[in-house]
Amino acid sequence: MADLISKFTKLSLKEVSSAKDSLFPELSAEQKALSSQFQTLSTRLDEDESLIALNNALRTQTFIAGNVPSKADLVVFEKALPVASKWSSTDDLAKYRHIIRWADLIQNTFVEVPQEEQLKVNHNIELPREIK
């Protein structure tokens, strides 16, 4: 995994939708299902339940499809970035903390985001303990 990440040439936001699945490891049926599910839900990020489902999944897994990166990370990231960039209250940052962690990982490893559009993550902010 570390090898894939270190050798990956970041894609621009414009290239995300045309990225090939073959850039990433082959997915199992379960991973394909998760990938498909979150690509569908990424078209509904105006609905709280979609964001909650995404945040809950990312609580226990590093990437959208589990513990391997996939094209779904890029597709969902493209849709989630403008939404996450608007979160500024402690409540939102706490509620969607796992989406923020994941989005920061994606913009640091797989997608080249212009400086002014990058998700600004304040690592020093004190968030309330998570209630699971």
Partner 1 sequence: MSVELYADKGSNLSALVANLKLSIAASVYQPKLAVVVPEEDTTAVLKDKKSGFELVEANAAVKYLGSDFDDNKTALDLEENELYKAIKTNSAEKVGSVKIPTVFTKAATTPSQIILFSALYPALKEFKASDSELTQWFSDFAAIEKVSAGIKHALSITKLERAKEQN
> Does 12 participate in binding partner 1 (rule CB under 8 A)?
no
> Does 62 participate in binding partner 1 (rule CB under 8 A)?
no
Beta bridge partners of 63: 66
Q: For residue 119, what are the contacts with CB-CB under 8 A and spacing of at least 6?
A: 81, 84, 85, 100, 103, 104, 107, 113
Rounded Cα distance, 73 and 76, in Å? 5
Q: Which residue, 10 or 44, is less far from partner 1 as judged by CB?
A: 44
**How many residues in the shown chain lie near partner 1 by CB under 8 A?**
14
One of 34, 65, 84, 113 touching partner 1 (CB under 8 A): 34
Rounded Cα distance, 100 and 96, in Å? 6
**Pairing mode, if any, of strands 11-12 and 111-112?**
parallel
> Does 36 participate in binding partner 1 (rule CB under 8 A)?
yes
> Does 49 participate in binding partner 1 (rule CB under 8 A)?
yes
One of 11, 32, 45, 92 touching partner 1 (CB under 8 A): 32
Applying CB under 8 A, which residues contact partner 1?
Answer: 29-30, 32-37, 40-41, 43-44, 49, 53
